[in-house]
C-alpha cells in the first residue's frame, strides 16, 4: 500500500461525483451500500470498484502472484478454467486470495519480506532516497502523507478520514481513521492484517522512506488508526502480537490457540 504515496501525483481523485438534479455533486467513493457507509460488523460491505481501484488490484495481485502457492480452486475460477489468469480475472476477492496463498508455508517474517519485495518492485530505482528528500520526517510531511492516504488507499482499506493525533506531545493532523478496513473485512484473518499489511507498511515507511508510521488496528470493529510521524513499537511490545484469531470467520483459524498461529512463527 505504501507505493501509492510516491505515485499519487500520477492519478486523479479516486472518488467520482454523482450529479443530482440541481447540478450539485455528491461524492460516493466506491461504497455500494444504500447508506453510503461500510456495512455493520458481521456483514460484508459491498463496493462498486472503478477503473482506478481495479488497476491497483490487478497491479498488486499480479506482483504477488509469483510468490503465491498454487491453488487448484483459484485456478479453476479463471476464465476457461485453464489456470492462466487474464487481467479481467482479478478483482478484490482474487487479490485477497493471492494474499492468503502467499501466507502458505511461510513464517511471519517471510510473509513480511514478500510484501517488502513487492513494494520495492513497484518503485523506480532510487525512489526511497527521493522520498526521503521530498518528505523528511517533519510535521508537514506527516500531515501531507495522511492527506494522500484517504483517496489513494481507498481501494485497499475502504473509506477513511484525516484526524488529529498527538505525536511526541504535538497535536497535528497526521492521523488517518479507517472506518472498517476492507482488507481485514474480506480476509477475516488477523495474521494477514498484521503480517501482510500493518507490519510491512510500518517498516517500509519508517525504514525505507524515513517517515515513521504506526498502524493500530481495532479487531473489535475492524477499524484502524494510522499515525504518521509516530515510531512503531517493536513487534514483541505491540498489543497485536497477542491477538487471537477470528475463530468464527477465519478459514485457517485455530480456536484452541490464545494467539493467532500466524503471529507466533
Residue-averaged pLDDT of the chain: 84
User: What pLDDT does residue 83 have?
Assistant: 53
Task: Band the pLDDT of 231: cuts 50, 70, 90.
Answer: very high
* 222 in Cβ contact with 180 (< 8 Å): yes
Instruction: Report the SS3 class of residue 202.
Output: helix
The most distant pair of C-alpha atoms in the chain lies apart, rounded to whole Å, by 58
Instruction: Give the pairing type, strands 223-228 and 170-178.
Output: antiparallel
Say if residue 199's pLDDT is above 80: yes
| Percent of the chain scoring above 70 in pLDDT | 82
pLDDT in tens, 33-51: 888 889 888 889 999 998 8
User: What pLDDT does residue 29 have?
Assistant: 52
pLDDT in tens, 98-152: 999 999 899 999 999 999 999 999 999 999 999 999 999 999 999 999 999 999 9
Instruction: Report the SS3 class of residue 32.
Output: coil
- ∠1-197-260 over CA atoms, to 5°? 170
User: What pLDDT does residue 113 have?
Assistant: 96
* 186 in Cβ contact with 38 (< 8 Å): no
Cα dist. 77→47, 94, 125 in Å? 21, 10, 36
Q: How many CB atoms lie within 10 A of CB 149?
A: 25
User: What pLDDT does residue 100 have?
Assistant: 93
Task: Please give the torsion angle defined by the CA atoms of residues 150, 3, 137 and 235, in that order, rounded to the nearest 10 degrees.
Answer: 90
Phi, psi of 82 (to 5 degrees): -95, 5
Round to whole Å and give the CA distance between 192 and 219: 12
Q: Name the pTM for this structure.
A: 0.84
pLDDT in tens, 138-194: 999 999 999 999 999 999 999 999 999 999 999 999 999 999 999 999 999 999 999
Q: How many CB atoms lie within 10 A of CB 65?
A: 16
All three cell numbers of 23, joined, read 447540478
User: What pLDDT does residue 111 have?
Assistant: 95
Query: Span 85-103, mean pLDDT?
Result: 84
Amino acid at each position: 500500500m505504501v507505493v501509492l504515496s510516491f505515485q499519487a501525483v500520477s492519478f486523479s481523485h479516486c472518488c467520482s461525483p454523482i450529479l443530482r438534479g440541481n447540478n450539485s455533486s455528491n461524492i460516493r467513493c466506491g461504497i455500494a451500500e444504500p447508506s453510503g457507509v461500510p456495512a455493520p460488523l458481521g456483514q460484508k460491505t459491498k463496493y462498486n470498484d472503478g477503473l482506478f481501484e481495479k488497476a491497483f488490484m490487478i497491479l498488486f495481485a499480479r506482483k504477488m502472484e509469483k510468490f503465491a502457492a498454487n491453488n487448484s480452486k483459484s485456478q479453476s475460477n479463471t476464465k476457461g478454467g485453464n489456470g492462466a489468469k487474464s487481467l479481467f480475472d482479478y478483482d478484490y476477492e482474487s487479490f485477497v486470495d493471492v494474499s492468503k496463498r502467499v501466507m502458505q508455508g511461510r513464517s511471519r517474517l517471510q510473509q513480511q519480506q514478500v510484501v517488502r519485495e513487492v513494494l520495492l518492485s513497484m518503485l523506480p530505482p532510487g525512489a526511497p532516497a527521493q522520498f526521503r528528500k521530498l518528505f523528511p520526517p517533519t510535521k508537514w510531511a506527516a500531515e501531507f502523507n495522511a492527506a494522500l492516504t484517504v483517496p489513494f488507499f481507498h481501494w485497499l482499506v475502504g473509506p477513511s478520514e484525516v484526524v488529529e493525533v498527538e505525536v511526541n506531545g504535538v497535536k497535528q493532523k497526521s492521523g488517518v481513521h479507517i472506518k472498517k478496513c476492507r482488507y481485514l473485512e474480506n480476509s477475516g484473518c488477523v495474521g494477514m492484517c498484521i503480517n501482510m499489511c500493518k507490519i510491512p507498511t510500518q517498516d517500509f515507511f519508517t525504514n525505507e522512506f524515513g517517515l515513521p508510521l504506526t498502524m493500530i488496528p481495532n479487531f473489535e470493529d475492524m477499524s484502524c488508526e494510522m499515525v504518521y510521524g509516530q515510531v512503531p513499537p517493536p513487534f514483541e511490545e505491540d498489543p497485536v502480537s497477542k491477538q487471537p484469531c477470528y475463530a468464527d470467520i477465519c478459514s485457517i483459524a485455530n480456536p484452541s490457540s490464545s494467539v493467532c498461529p500466524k503471529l507466533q512463527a
